[in-house]
Structure 1
Amino acid sequence: MDASGLALPAQPHAVSRLRSARLARSAKPFLARGGPHGERCAGCRLLPSHCLCALRPAVPTRAGMCLLMADIEPLKPSNTGWLIADVVADTFAFGWTRTEVDPALLALLADPQWQAYLVFPGEFVDSARVVTDVLPADAAAGTAGRADKRPLFVLLDGTWPEARKMFRKSPYLDKLAVLSLQSEQLSSYRLRRSQRDAHFCTSEVAALCLALAGDAQAAQVLEAYLDVFTNHYLQAKNQLPVDAEDAAHQHLRNLRDL
């Protein structure tokens, strides 16, 4: 911890680096809600009085995450892709544009250690591409998979209209199997609501993917971490203190200690 009592930020992860790159390209400063002074922790993007860094979990996973992020998503303090990168070490993040694609993204999708799945609702996709489980073969491309390949979940991180645009206008994703999640649970995310109640926030989608991949502890930790993050964010927004001994915090600590 530093002299202020805050936990020192960890090494910048993929979403943090993408945020820094996006800020460097900005012609004017991005002003998050809460005031013009930018008094936010570099490690968790929350107000220093509600810093979450001391509770940051890290769980070994077989699966990896690839976030394709709409233009200003990395800048939003409420973005939950950041939480995924906190928990899952093999998280990759790329900014999305219609006219350009990062060569590093194409290299990642072609890396033979990964079996990539594009996560998107199956109702909007040709049924021939859709899978509902993490399979040893890529059903969309029709190529034989290997049992030693690790699942890589490609998540479109943005509003629902942005995600649909990213899906339609990214031809380099067309060969990927589309993983359609079948969970019946409704989203409990309280920071930014979708117009469709059954839509999950990005962190919730990642937790469901981790569970499908057999990374059960990581899935539970990410869900608990989202609950605590949401609590800290809303308490800060309402200028209320955090109860670090409440059920959500204790649940996260118990999962981290397993």
Structure 2
Amino acid sequence: MSHAVARLRAARIARSAKPFLARGSNAVRCQACRLAVSHCLCAWRPRIAAQSGVCLLMHDVEALKPSNTGWLIADVLADTCAFGWQRTVVEPGLPALLDDPQWQPYLVFPGEYVAPKRVVSSVVVAPGKRPLFVLLDATWTEARKMFRKSPYLDALPVLSLQPEQLSRYRLRRSSRDDHLCTAEVAALCLELAGDQLAADGLNAYLDVFSQHYLAAKAPRAVDLSDPLHQRLREFLPAD
């Protein structure tokens, strides 16, 4: 199955002068889920309808990283768009998406870095519109740079999240414990917008993805009947 992040990844690979070597690059990976073939996640991919959409603005090599969780959002939500970020070039589809009358976009970013008049803490959409969450998919250092150097985002309201729990994501470490991975941020946005089923399914998928990823690195087997898999099974299409 192809989706926006997969297409962005393919385009990025096509223009690369040399291959991107991720950690554990010697592993034979599934081209569909990016995990080691021995720990493939394809059979566990949920697809959940939601009123909300997500727009991923991805730093240069983010789509190439096997640990990237923006990919998981695109797996789960059909209305996920992905654009590569460059400081001096804006992909033409991005302004068109932000101006599309069906969407009410929110830029998701910590409110402490934004003028107070731009900050909102709830999702309220006008009649006939759907929420579109614009996420900066990058490391925290990169995301701050993207925020400062993307003037075409300056007119958007900034949704500032106040997560009640620390990040469960274990594949990369942040200098701040309250930083969430991209999929966790998307799940919180979905919950705020009333898309609870999609939020729960994305969280369940992230937990199983993290488990498979770490098990493949160990390496060790994964118990497909454990509570995490049983939880995710509730969101899978019926056979």
Equivalent of residue 46 in structure 1, options 24, 29, 35: 35
Q: Which amino acid aligns with 1:46?
A: L
Residue 19 of structure 1 is matched in structure 2 by 9
Residue 100 of structure 2 is matched in structure 1 by 111
- Answering whether residue 176 of structure 2 is matched by residue 196 of structure 1, we say yes
**Where do 5+ consecutive residues of structure 2 fail to align?**
none
How far apart, in 2, do the equivalents of 1:125 and 1:230 lie?
Answer: 32
Match of 2:73, SS state, is helix
Give the C-alpha shift of residue 185 in structure 1. Answer: 1.0
How far apart, in 2, do the equivalents of 1:35 and 1:197 lie?
Answer: 28
How far apart, in 1, do the equivalents of 2:189 and 2:164 lie?
Answer: 14
How far apart, in 1, do the equivalents of 2:109 and 2:13 lie?
Answer: 28
| Percentage of pairs with the same residue | 68
Match of 2:174, SS state, is coil
Deviations 1:87-139 (A, max 9, x none): 00000000000000001001000000000000000011000000000023xxx
Q: Which amino acid aligns with 1:21?
A: A
RCO greater where, 1 or 2, for CA within 8 Å and sep 6 or more? Answer: 2
How far apart, in 1, do the equivalents of 2:72 and 2:25 lie?
Answer: 23
Give the C-alpha shift of residue 255 in structure 1. Answer: 3.5
Match of 2:233, SS state, is helix
Equivalent pair of 2:67/2:171 in contact (CA under 8 Å):
yes
How far apart, in 2, do the equivalents of 1:243 and 1:72 lie?
Answer: 32
Q: Which amino acid aligns with 1:35?
A: S
Residue 222 of structure 1 is matched in structure 2 by 202
Matched ranges for 1:84-163 at <5 A: 84-136=73-125, 146-163=126-143
Equivalent of residue 251 in structure 1, options 212, 231, 235: 231
How far apart, in 2, do the equivalents of 1:81 and 1:130 lie?
Answer: 24
Residue 19 of structure 2 is matched in structure 1 by 29
Deviations 1:62-97 (A, max 9, x none): 000000000100000000000000000000000000
C-alpha RMSD over aligned residues? 1.1
- Answering whether residue 30 of structure 2 is matched by residue 61 of structure 1, we say no
Match of 1:66, SS state, is strand
Give the C-alpha shift of residue 35 in structure 1. Answer: 3.3
Q: Which amino acid aligns with 1:98?
A: R
Match of 1:256, SS state, is coil
Deviations 1:195-252 (A, max 9, x none): 1000100000000000011100000000000000000000000011111011100011
Equivalent pair of 2:123/2:192 in contact (CA under 8 Å):
yes
Give the C-alpha shift of residue 257 in structure 1. Answer: 6.3
Q: How many correspondences in the alignment?
A: 238
How far apart, in 2, do the equivalents of 1:83 and 1:65 lie?
Answer: 12
TM-score relative to the length of structure 2:
0.97
Equivalent of residue 70 in structure 1, options 59, 62, 65: 59
**Where do 5+ consecutive residues of structure 1 fail to align?**
1-9, 137-145
